[in-house]
Amino acid sequence: MKIIRKIALAELQLLFYSPIAWIILIVFTIQAALFFTNIFDRTVQTQDLHYHLENVTFRLFANPYNGFFIGILEYLYLYIPLLTMGLMSRELGSGSINLLYSSPVRNSQIILGKFLSMMAYGVVLIVILSVFVIFAGCTVKEFDWSLILGGLLGIYLLICAYVAIGLFMSSLTSYQVVAVVSTLIVLAFLNTVSRFGQEHDFIREITYWLSINGRVNEAIGGLLCSEDLLYFLIVSGLFLSLSILRLKSVRQKSSWGLSWSKYTGVVIAAMLLGYLTSRPTLMGFHDTTRTKQRTLTENSQQIIRRAEGELKMTVYVNALDDDIWNGLPRNRKNDLENFAQYIRFKPEMEVKYVYYYADTGDPMLAKRYPGLSISRMVGEICRSYRIDSTMFLPPEKIAQSIDLAPEGYRIVRLLEGENGQRTFLRMFNDMQRYPSEMEISAALKRLVMELPVVGFLSGHGERDYTMEGDLGYYQFAQDKWFRYALINQGFDCQEVTLDDEIPAHITILTIADMRRALTPAEQVHLDAYIARGGNLLVLGEPRRQEVMNPIVAPLGVQFMPGQLVKWSGTKPVEEEEEEVRRMFFNPKKQVERGNNFSADFIQSRLTRESREVSYRYDQMYRDERVVTMPGCVGLAYSEERGFKVIPLMRSDTIESWNELETTDFIDDTVRLNPAIGEVVKSYPTALALSRQVNGKEQKVIIIGDADCISNGEITRGRAKVLASNYDMLMGSFFWLSDNEVPIDIRRPTPPDNTIFMTGVSANVSKWFLTGLFPLLLLASCLVIWLRRRGR
């Protein structure tokens, strides 16, 4: 070890005698300073504009798009070859290698000494980066030090791997320029090798492990994985071993065949170690983020722990599906990356891909391939993707093993537990496409426990959960390709009639917009369901009070006569109509100043009391979100029936009242008439009721509008209206299901949300970091270099 240390010290002295080491330090510092201050300035500017900051540490350093550490990686590989090019090439070119050969120094000591010197130089680079880290740590509230330390460790290991590669390439030639170019070629190969052979399972595993591209990104992002850390150690050890063998073959004049057999043995040993370290069952992980952002939430972990025994995921990929790319063999690693956190906790999970083709009913296929049969379309698609068409099973073959018609023959994942339970996990029609933790955990939860069943009452003109029109409830209940549909969030949906008793497995009964009254026999069955403690979601509508009040009256609630309206004009109606004429609007159309909404369009706001019902309500309340209700009935209530009542939402307090006369809001105009009891005030539009029945808490939600969760309204956007109808709906079902589903995947809010600087002070610090700091470093370099030259 003493000899290795002496060689390292001698190499460092020689390195810093040359100006190249100092120039690289100065250039590296300037580039790092410019990159960091630009990111820091933009973040401070965002704060000065009074935008909310969150997770500032991650935003500054680990953001995958423009984080400081990610930016450093983009040019770090350019510096290392310039440092390593002369490590052995200089010795070979000058002949000084013969002095080393003639001395009692082993080949391994020569290589390890030179490698140790470059490790020390790597520490200097890390110290420079640490200056920016310390600056951020002093200016960011509750800086996440553990995240940054993990990122610095990853960068340092990457530097060491680059050095080992450069050292080996330098040992192959006496020309330093050749060493630089060959090192860059090897680094380019290791960065792109993962693109090759991805169509074949065996080659994919090899090339994916060899790839150095993105290896350090996980550490920077807050997740230390044993596979990645050991990769850098194995690669470094591999190239150091090759360097030692290279010196040995030259020193002892070994035969070509013997030398190559040794090289091959070292490479095979490294590949074997790499294979073992990449096995999911042998991997270890450590989340360095303060709030464990890179780990499944505790609720998801509990679900995984309950999934005992084998877990199998079969991915069915249709050649005619638009999402075929996501399931192709060449994209399999990226596809599985979306489930990496689950494989981390369930490493023995078996994953299988099945390829087939079947008609999806997409009319665009016939336009893209006019006159071609389904099989010939598949041939054309496979030719375009350069894949073998014989890997796709024909429709009759796939139908023998599974019926995918209900899934529309789209790419879908079948999850199967050891207990025989099965469920599908789907791709969705949104920008994200892949299921998130909430959907994956909900699907897994189906395998380990009975989840709530939502019954939709029918037979009296109610809203239909299978109807796709504007008034139906298909989208939030049964739309398989809508991420937030109940079926994708852990619920099952079922039609319910009152011809007999409501089945015991129905946990939530939905009654929406009834048009015909219940018969006495039906009322008995409904009363029995309520008496046993069944949960209810009741949604009314204007002009349905007579039919629906008998349902809610036993609960102490009444749908008020008339309907709620809001008028925001400040002038007499006649003057308002005249102004509308001048603006070329229809004078008969009800106008709400600034948005042209009909007077029966109500924006209900969450109450302070609603925050205790559901965390989603709490978030909506804090974000000042509303629930849009195009036609809403006010609610009156009393607690005399034994229910605790919490008003969830209320209408606006300004120029809003319960209209008792006007029913045509297009060709007529609303007018406040106090003489008949119309009063300007805020009315409850949604209530939460609860009581103890049979040892459990019975829960009921009553809403004065059935359109607010309809297909036509639930995802509709309007200018200047911050609507969150779906959040309201999910919050309601979360409460009604006793907080079982949708899965709660909330995490603690990162506390690093403030920078203790303004734009002016940030500008001053920018001049220091980009100007004064590099100048001080340059001055130090010049003093040290000149003193050493003087000696």
Residue 19: pLDDT band (50, 70, 90) is: confident
- Percent pLDDT > 70 in the chain is 96
Residue 655 pLDDT more than 90?
Answer: no
| pLDDT tens-place string over residues 667-713 | 777 888 888 888 889 999 999 999 999 889 999 999 999 999 999 99
User: Which of 277, 267, 185, 198 has the alpha carbon at shortest distance from 231?
Assistant: 277
Instruction: Kindly tell me if the per-residue pLDDT of 591 is higher than 60.
Output: no
Residue 63 makes CB contacts below 8 A (sequence gap 6+) with 70
pLDDT value of residue 618:
95
User: Is residue 16 over pLDDT 90?
Assistant: no
- Tell whether the model's pLDDT for residue 447 goes beyond 80: yes
User: What does pLDDT average to over the chain?
Assistant: 90
Looking at residue 790, what is its pLDDT? 67
Give the number of other CB atoms < 10 A from CB of residue 770: 20
> Which of 433, 446, 536, 544 is closest to 483 using CA atoms?
433
DSSP string over 188-209:
HHHHHGGGSSTTSHHHHHHHHH
Residue 576 confidence (pLDDT): 43
> Which residues lie across from 649 on neighbouring strands?
606, 686
Distance between CA atoms of residues 651 and 566, nearest Å: 9
Segment 576-581 shows an average pLDDT of 43
Give the DSSP letter string of 497-544: -SSSPPPTT--EEEEE---SPPPHHHHHHHHHHHHTT-EEEEE--TT-
Place of tokens 């899965």: 743
Q: What is the spatial distance between Cα 324 and Cα 614, in angstroms, rounded to a whole number? A: 39
Neighbours of 284 (CB within 10 A): 12
Chain centroid to CA 335? 14
Sequence-distant (≥ 6) Cβ neighbours of residue 64 within 8 angstroms: 70, 217, 221
Which amino acid is it at 190?
Answer: L
Q: Report which of residues 290 and 665 the model is more confident about.
A: 290
Residue 161 pLDDT > 90: yes
pLDDT at residue 579 greater than cutoff 60? no
- Which DSSP string do the residues of 402-413 spell out, in sequence order? ---GGGTT--EE
pLDDT at 584: 33
- pLDDT at residue 594 in the model: 41
Give 574's pLDDT tier (boundaries 50, 70, 90): very low
Q: Is 315 helix (H, G, I), strand (E, B) or coil?
A: strand
pLDDT at 571 over 50: no
pLDDT at 580 over 50: no
Q: Tell me if residue 635 falls in helix, strand or coil.
A: strand
Taking residues 643-657, what's their average pLDDT? 91
| Cα 763 from Cα 198, distance rounded (Å) | 48
Are 538 and 509 within 8 A, CB to CB?
no
Structure tokens at 272: 């074997």
Angle, CA of 157, 162 and 165, to the nearest 5°: 125
- Give the closest residue to 484 by CA, choosing from 722, 299, 728, 704: 728
Given 3-state DSSP classes, what are the helix, strand and coil percentages for the chain, each rounded to the nearest 5?
A: 50, 15, 35
Q: Please report the pLDDT score of residue 464 as a whole number.
A: 95
Instruction: Report the residue count for the chain.
Output: 791
pLDDT more than 90, % of the chain: 70
What is the mean pLDDT of the segment spanning 306-325?
93
pLDDT tier at 259 (50, 70, 90 boundaries)? Answer: confident
Q: What is the CA radius of gyration of the chain?
A: 34
pLDDT of residue 214 exceeding 90: no
What is the pTM for the complete model shown?
Answer: 0.89
The pLDDT of residue 201 is: 80
Q: Is the pLDDT of residue 137 over 60?
A: yes
Check the CA dihedral 547-548-550-556 and report its sign: negative
> How high is the pLDDT of residue 568?
54
Q: What is the predicted pLDDT for the residue at 121?
A: 95
Convert the pLDDT of each residue in 329-375 to its tens digit: 999 999 999 999 999 999 999 999 999 999 998 888 989 999 899 99
pLDDT digits (tens, 9 = 90+) for 27-64: 999 999 999 999 999 999 999 999 999 999 999 999 99
CA max distance for the chain: 114
**What is the per-residue pLDDT for 158?**
96
Are 743 and 300 within 8 A, CB to CB?
A: yes
